[in-house]
Amino acid sequence: MKSIGISVTPSEIYFAIAFNKEDMLHPVKTGRIRVPMALPVSLRLRYLRTMVIDLINIHKVSRAGIRLSDPLSANVSSERIQIEGIMQELLSSSTVQAYFTGTTTSMAQEMNFPTDLSDFLAGKVCPEGLEQWESFKKREERECVLACLAGILLP
């Protein structure tokens, strides 16, 4: 089974696509999609939606996870909220069979990890069953890999 994990910033979408085999998460593709800032907001969102749906279709993804921004964060970005909303709408109307959306706290609960994922997200601790964890240098990369794992672990 393949899963996609998504983590959003106001200027980029980070994604990880992986499959689960013998209780190990094997990354297939990781990357980022830059938000085309020269376009009006509606065309930016359409562009991002099209790019992610293409990834889902090309890789035959059946599960997904989106790391949502913390609603209590002091620096909530309206652009990020818009992109996260489009990603949720995309998953609900796509071929993805099950998906997870939530903050890092709810992601940790879904995966039965410690509630505080800060050591995982800082790269200090490698989650059990994940290959190549040390190759993910940015926090957003690690967030999308964990969101991908949360998608795979859905019932």
Which residue range(s) make up the domain with 78? 2-152
Q: SS3 of 52, please?
A: helix
CA of residue 66 relative to chain centroid, distance: 4
**Alpha-helix residue ranges (DSSP H) falling in 27-72:** 41-58
* Number of domains the chain is built from: 1
pLDDT digits (tens, 9 = 90+) for 79-108: 999 999 999 999 999 999 999 999 888 888
Give the span between the Cα atoms of 50 and 15, in whole angstroms: 14
pLDDT digits (tens, 9 = 90+) for 26-84: 887 899 999 999 999 999 999 999 999 999 999 999 999 999 998 877 788 899 999 99
Give the span between the Cα atoms of 102 and 108, in whole angstroms: 10
CATH code at position 133: 3.30.420.10
Look up the pTM and report it: 0.89
pLDDT digits (tens, 9 = 90+) for 139-149: 888 889 889 88
